[in-house]
Amino acid sequence: MTQSVALFVTCLVDMMRPRIGFAAIRALEAAGCDVVVPQGQTCCGQPALNSGDRAHAIALAKQTIAALEPCPAIVVPSGSCAGTIRCHYPELFEGDADWLPRAQAVAAKTYEIMAYLDEVLGWKPDGVRLDATATYHDSCSGLRELGVKAQPRRLLAQVQGLSLTPLAGEETCCGFGGTFCVKYPAISNAIVGEKADAIAATGADLLLAGDLGCLMNMAGKLHRDGSPVRAYHAIELIAGMGDGPAIGEEP
């Protein structure tokens, strides 16, 4: 039976690294899903929500809900965007008799990509190989709002030739924090500086995570530090696209 799944691409993946979206489609299709990309989507509204701009957060949430609600399941290649839909949309519509049930219905069928592949579908990558050592950073929203922790590691364990080296402080925030990193650049830099040092200390070839915002922050710092560590979204490796250009590499 084919499971129909909607991909919520996220605004960051759309603009900065489309490969992540295509990797998500590839993995979902390998798992037997029929993937659609609803065209009414743009951004989930998290920047407005976290900035206190409730009116715009609600407007974008309504647009996203309307675009996604016809689909039986919604999959997102980002823990923080999935967390916004799953955890914060229902909060936004508290007391709204029309929109609360719609927000709750969409929230209940929205999943982070790796949690969906591993937990809902019970799928494992098959015949994927990449000879490398990698370390994994647990992005905060995915980890604490959605419980994404074991799922990416179980999927990555199926990638032949890949060995995972634990990252000291793997659950410690990288200092991205959405607009935080540009509002308080010096503090953010101090945090990501320590993260980059911890990543370098693992001796791993690759840095993996499940959120592009965090990855861009860490990869951008590693690059500025002159580190050779290459960064990918974990779904790229899981989908067999780990041999392509890393973040910040020309195709």
Single-letter amino acid, residue 152: P
Q: Which amino acid is at 28?
A: L
Give the x-and-dash track for 207-226 against another protein (CB under 8 A).
---------xx-xxx-xx--
Q: Is 144 in the site for another protein (CB under 8 A)?
A: yes
φ, ψ for residue 201, nearest 5 deg? -70, -20
Phi and psi at residue 216, to the nearest 5°: -65, -40
Q: Is 15 in the site for another protein (CB under 8 A)?
A: yes
Asked if 178 touches another protein (CB under 8 A), the answer is: yes
Stretch of 93-101, 113-121, 150-158, 169-177 lying at the interface with another protein (CB under 8 A): 169-177
Q: Taking CB under 8 A as the rule, does residue 176 contact another protein?
A: yes
Binding span for another protein by CB under 8 A among 26-34, 94-102, 140-148, 203-211: 140-148
Instruction: Examine residue 94 and tell whether it contacts another protein (CB under 8 A).
Output: no
Asked whether position 108 contacts another protein by CB under 8 A, the answer is: no
Stretch that binds another protein, among 68-76, 113-121, 175-183, 233-241 (CB under 8 A): 175-183
Q: Closest CB to another protein among 14 and 119?
A: 14
Which range binds another protein by CB under 8 A, 125-133, 148-156, 159-167, 170-178? Answer: 170-178
Please choose, out of 43-51, 94-102, 126-134, 149-157, the segment that lies near another protein by the rule CB under 8 A. Answer: 43-51
Contact characters 183-212, another protein, x per CB under 8 A: xxxxxxxxxxx-------------------
Q: Which two tokens stand for residue 59?
A: 């407007």
Q: Closest CB to another protein among 32 and 248? A: 248
CA 248 to each of CA 102, 209, 215, 221, 230: distance values in angstroms, whole numbers, following the listed order: 39, 15, 11, 11, 9
**3-7: strand order across its sheet:** 33-36, 3-7, 74-76, 110-112
Burial pattern 103-140, b for ≥16 Cβ within 10 A else e, equals: beebbebbbbbbbbbbbbbebbbeebebebebbbbbbb
The closest alpha carbon to 109, from 90, 86, 89, belongs to 86
Query: Which DSSP string corresponds to 103-161?
Result: HHHHHHTEEEHHHIIIIIS-----S-EEEEEEEE---HHHHHHH--SHHHHHHHTTSEE
- Token pair belonging to 217: 């922050």
Cα dihedral 205→219→177→95 (10° resolution): -80
* Least Å from the CB of residue 158 to another protein: 26
Binding site for another protein (CB under 8 A): 9, 11, 13-19, 21-22, 37, 39-43, 45, 47-54, 56, 59-60, 63, 91, 140-141, 144-145, 171-173, 175-178, 180-193, 216-217, 219-221, 223-224, 245, 247-251
